[in-house]
Amino acid sequence: DVKVTQSSRYLVKRTGEKVFLECVQDMDHENMFWYRQDPGLGLRLIYFSYDVKMKEKGDIPEGYSVSREKKERFSLILESASTNQTSMYLCASSRPQRDTQYFGPGTRLTVL
């Protein structure tokens, strides 16, 4: 089975802190994605990567950056956390040229 893991299930940070969210997949997938999920808004794509050291902006990249130094790991970085970044963050991966995405369990981030 494909396994996508995220470093934390719950995280509480203060405004202005730098926050790292880590995602690791064990199926050698080329594509990795970061989404945020908010009630009534569904999933919104923040960033994605289709190869090591490659990244592409999604629909809402402002306030976020990403890092993909190794194929299995994709990190989401909040340079200076703000209260409007309080959300559920979901990581996903997929094979190249294939659209079925496999999701991690999510990280619920609260910024105070």
Partner 1 sequence: GEDVEQSLFLSVREGDSSVINCTYTDSSSTYLYWYKQEPGAGLQLLTYIFSNMDMKQDQRLTVLLNKKDKHLSLRIADTQTGDSAIYFCAESKGGGGSYIPTFGRGTSLIVHP
Report the length, in residues, of the chain: 112
Nearer to partner 1, 1 or 15 (CB): 1
Is residue 101 near partner 1 by the rule CB under 8 A? yes
What string of DSSP letters covers 78-103? ESS--GGG-EEEEEEEE-TT----EE
Name the residue nearer to partner 1 (CB basis): 80 or 99: 99
Asked if 16 touches partner 1 (CB under 8 A), the answer is no
| Beta-bridge mates of residue 36 | 44, 89
Q: Which residues bind partner 1 (CB under 8 A)?
A: 4, 9, 31, 33, 40-43, 45, 48, 90, 92, 94, 96-106, 108
